[in-house]
């Protein structure tokens, strides 16, 4: 077997995207056999860096990802990767490549929008571009494990936000969650991923909870990046559980890409919608309707400022809100948000939900 | 949908690009068309009341147009357009349009006539119009004939515009290219005002959407291989085709247009050899602020042409 010298490996980087960088790291290191540059938690500087070089009214995810990419190149990435998508996201890569080039960075830039056809040949070509000596069966096995890891990450996260607000011992849930993330960060094979998941799930399920009889339940819906990425939405879900709520978010990578299909979800919302309205709009409306029918107390709709597909979900959400008498808080993020402002709005929203619940009971 | 006799076409969004085709198609089928009046302050106010705050100005106007058609016709034509190819899509708002209108005007119960196509359906324009004819209860041959005649009319209209614009481009005088989405360029409330200002200052105004669409589309692939929007493709392609024949470019965009926010930035970065003014129109701005900017832009071009800035 050929032994690859550590120095031969190239450093790959991908913009920060919630906890999924851990799964991407796994695929890059175990499948492509290159180094992955795992960026630390984003800071205010990341955002500032991104917005400084972005067009004025580009959406917030553009600015966040550009900030991440610049930091990655500064940290020594050889190849940076940007994804494509079904909205403006499809043009992110082209413009970010140009911006990085004008700033004088000379890294390789891989724009996945160019490979979005999804043909097998193109995918193999892409893998060979990232590592000419790539072992395809090994890559496929790693992709499978990486997908599994993403599912586990989503599962544990969902458990955390459902229950952590009621933990008997403060910080016990957080501790188990952090330990799990750490294990995913260093996992090197299928077994380690599975063991880490099972351990975390076991610990979390055995932790003592002091749940009130009727806890306030809030559903989070919204735009793909901002709703998922905790830094972009200013740790919205964490703030909500600290107020004492149980929080659910249907929108995650597992439910978007590995499980629910758009055409399978749409029949469930046909009272409101006839056609596919945009990349994640069906998920947003489906989840909101589901929360309403399951008797949730409130819905928070999260998006970046000017996000076209999610803006188009708003009139439908307003109708759902009227029909099912469920309050919806609309949050629109750009890159200059004050933390206190958000706190005040969330507190007021939570208090209103709690009071409504008491009166109705 | 049996008893549809009059069809309302809102004078907004893609009506400025394909309206001639729509109207001709319906009229060939023996239906009469009602087109909403030209945009004005009142229509904007009606639309603004209906729309979410952040939506783009053209969409607010569109809702105003839809509202002004309520009760004036048997059905309002709101197509769902996804584009025909993966790299020639429409902005996602066009995918949502019929559902949006239905949800926003839920209490008014408007009768919406719609036809839907998407880039992943592998369809083409002729098939789409066949299904539109079927939705109106017409036979295949009737729809086919109507589409053929309508397409011909549309092509003639387009050719006449191209020809007229070519004469303008051959002529003397200061030529300014207005670049943007057709409904921004030609809506009297948005681009119409800017064209008027430019004309008043002595410029000949030419438009990016009066350029041969196929040629512009083809040319746009030199500008970008990955750009996903057909309207922005036609716009950038036309800029590429005409940039040597005009003296300046005014980029017109409506706030906050998603595709334009990225593409116009790219255009400003890539097209450097010609003076370019980027204007963003929103619901609040009066013409006064724009007038100053357009005027100084014109002054710069004139000064440069006269040999200023050490050119000659």
pLDDT digits 0-9 by tens, B174-228: 999 999 999 999 998 888 889 999 999 999 999 999 999 999 999 999 999 999 9
pLDDT at B305 over 90: no
Model confidence at B53, in pLDDT bands (50, 70, 90)? Answer: confident
Phi, psi torsion values for A76, nearest 5 degrees: 105, 20
Which of A144 and A261 is assigned the larger pLDDT?
A144
pLDDT at B2 over 60: no
Measured between CB atoms, which of B95, B100, B262 is closest to A276? Answer: B95
The CA-CA-CA angle for residues A183, A188, A193, to 5°, reads 50
Cα torsion B194, B196, B199, B200: sign: negative
Model confidence at A313, in pLDDT bands (50, 70, 90)? Answer: very high
Q: To probe the interface with B, which of A276, A289, A318, A333 has the most B CB atoms within 10 Å?
A: A276
Rounded CA separation B154/A263 (Å) = 35
Q: Cβ A277–B86 below 8 Å, yes or no?
A: no
Instruction: Count CA within 13 A, CB hemisphere, residue B226.
Output: 26
Task: Answer whether CATH 3.40.50 is correct for domain B6-152.
Answer: yes
ipTM value for the complex: 0.92
DSSP letters for B73-101: SSEEE--EE-EEETTEE--HHHHHHHHHH
Taking all residues of chain B, what is their mean pLDDT, rounded to a whole number?
91
The CA-CA-CA angle for residues B56, B60, B62, to 5°, reads 115
What is the CATH T-level fold of the domain B171-305, as seen in this structure?
Rossmann fold (3.40.50)
How do residues A52-98 score in pLDDT, each as one tens digit? 999 988 999 999 999 999 999 999 999 999 998 888 899 999 999 99
Q: Cβ B228–A98 below 8 Å, yes or no?
A: no
Task: Select from B60, B56, B7 the least CA-distant residue to B36.
Answer: B7
Contacts of B86 in chain A (CB under 8 A): 116-117
Measured between CB atoms, which of A102, A279, A312 is closest to B269? Answer: A102
- Composition of chain B by helix, strand, coil, percent to 5: 55, 15, 30
- Count, in order, helices (H) and strands (E) of chain B: 12, 12
- Among A42-46, A203-207, A211-215, A316-320, which stretch is predicted with the lowest mean pLDDT? A211-215
How do residues A205-250 score in pLDDT, each as one tens digit? 999 999 888 899 999 999 999 999 999 999 999 999 999 999 999 9
Tokens linked to B110: 């408007």
Q: Cβ A315–B104 below 8 Å, yes or no?
A: yes
Tokens linked to B69: 């058609």
Residue of B nearest to A56 (CA): B261
Neighbour-count burial for A44-59, b at 16+ CB within 10 Å, e otherwise: eebbebbbeebbebbb
Neighbour-count burial for A89-122, b at 16+ CB within 10 Å, e otherwise: bbbbbbbbbbbbeeeebebebbbbbebbeeeeee
Domain ranges of chain B: 6-152, 171-305
Rounded CA separation A280/B250 (Å) = 34
* Cβ proximity of A61 and A232 under 8 Å: yes
Residue with tokens 């586990």: A152
Residue of A nearest to B266 (CA): A95
Alpha helix segments (H runs only) across chain A: 21-26, 44-53, 60-74, 89-102, 120-130, 136-163, 172-186, 190-206, 224-228, 236-242, 253, 262-265, 281-293, 308-311, 314-324, 339-360
A88 touches chain B (CB under 8 A): yes
pTM over the 0.80 mark: yes
A112 touches chain B (CB under 8 A): no
pLDDT at A4 over 80: no
């Amino acid at each position: 077997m050929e032994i690859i010298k550590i120095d031969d490996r190239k450093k790959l980087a991908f913009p920060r995207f919630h906890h999924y960088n851990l799964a991407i790291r796994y695929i890059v290191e175990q499948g492509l056999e290159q180094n992955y540059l795992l960026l630390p938690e984003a800071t205010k500087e990341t955002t500032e860096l991104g917005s400084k070089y972005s067009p004025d009214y580009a959406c917030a995810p553009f600015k966040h990802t550009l900030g991440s990419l610049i930091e990655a190149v500064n940290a020594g990435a050889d190849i940076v990767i940007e994804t494509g998508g079904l909205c403006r996201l499809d043009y992110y890569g082209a413009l970010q490549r140009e911006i990085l080039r004008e700033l004088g960075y000379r890294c390789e830039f891989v724009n996945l929008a160019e490979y979005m056809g999804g043909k097998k040949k193109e995918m193999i070509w892409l893998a060979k571009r990232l590592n000419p000596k790539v072992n395809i069966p090994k890559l496929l096995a790693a992709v499978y494990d990486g997908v599994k890891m993403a599912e586990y990450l989503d599962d544990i996260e969902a458990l955390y936000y459902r229950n952590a607000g009621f933990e008997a011992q403060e910080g016990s849930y957080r501790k188990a969650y952090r330990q799990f993330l750490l294990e995913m960060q260093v996992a090197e094979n299928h077994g380690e991923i599975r063991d880490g998941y099972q351990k975390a799930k076991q610990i979390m399920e055995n932790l003592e909870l002091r749940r009130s009889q009727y806890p306030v339940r809030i559903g989070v819906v919204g735009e793909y990046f901002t709703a998922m990425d905790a830094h972009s939405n200013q740790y919205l879900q964490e703030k909500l559980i600290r107020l004492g709520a149980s929080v659910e978010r249907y929108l995650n990578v597992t439910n978007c890409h590995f499980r629910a299909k758009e055409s399978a979800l749409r029949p469930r919302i046909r009272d409101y919608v006839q056609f596919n309205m945009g990349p994640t709009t069906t998920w947003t409306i489906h989840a909101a309707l589901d929360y309403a029918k399951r008797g949730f107390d409130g819905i928070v709709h999260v998006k970046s400022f000017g996000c076209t597909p999610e803006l188009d979900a708003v009139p439908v959400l307003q109708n759902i809100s009227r029909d099912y008498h469920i309050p919806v808080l609309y949050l629109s993020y750009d890159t200059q948000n004050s933390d206190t402002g958000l706190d005040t709005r969330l507190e007021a929203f939570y208090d209103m939900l709690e009071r409504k619940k008491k009166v109705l009971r | 949908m049996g008893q549809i006799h009059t069809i309302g076409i809102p004078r907004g969004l893609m009506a400025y690009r394909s309206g001639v085709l729509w109207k001709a198609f319906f009229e060939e089928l023996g239906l009469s068309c009602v087109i909403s009046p030209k945009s004005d302050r009142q229509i904007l106010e009606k639309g603004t009341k209906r729309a979410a705050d952040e939506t783009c100005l053209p969409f607010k106007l569109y809702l105003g147009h839809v509202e002004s058609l309520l009760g004036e016709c048997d059905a309002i034509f709101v197509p769902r357009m996804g584009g025909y190819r993966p790299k020639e899509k429409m902005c996602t708002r066009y995918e949502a349009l019929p559902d949006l209108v239905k949800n926003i005007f839920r209490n008014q119960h408007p009768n919406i006539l719609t036809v839907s196509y998407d880039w992943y359906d592998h369809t083409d324009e002729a098939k789409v119009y066949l299904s539109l004819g079927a939705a109106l209860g017409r036979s295949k041959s009737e729809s086919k004939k109507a589409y053929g005649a309508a397409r011909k009319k549309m092509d003639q209209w387009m050719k006449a515009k191209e020809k007229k614009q070519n004469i303008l481009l051959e002529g003397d005088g200061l030529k300014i290219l207005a670049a943007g989405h057709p409904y921004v360029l030609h809506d009297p409330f948005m681009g119409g005002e800017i064209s008027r200002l430019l004309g008043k200052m002595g410029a000949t105004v030419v438009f990016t959407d009066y350029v041969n669409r196929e040629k512009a589309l083809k040319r746009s692939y030199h500008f970008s291989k990955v750009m996903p929007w057909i309207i922005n493709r036609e716009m950038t392609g036309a800029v590429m085709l005409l940039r040597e024949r005009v003296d300046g470019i005014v980029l017109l965009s409506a706030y906050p247009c998603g595709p334009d926010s990225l593409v116009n930035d790219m255009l400003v970065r890539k097209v450097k050899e010609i003076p370019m003014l980027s204007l963003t129109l929103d619901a609040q701005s009066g013409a006064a602020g724009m007038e100053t900017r357009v005027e100084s832009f014109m002054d710069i071009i004139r000064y440069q042409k006269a040999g200023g800035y050490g050119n000659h």
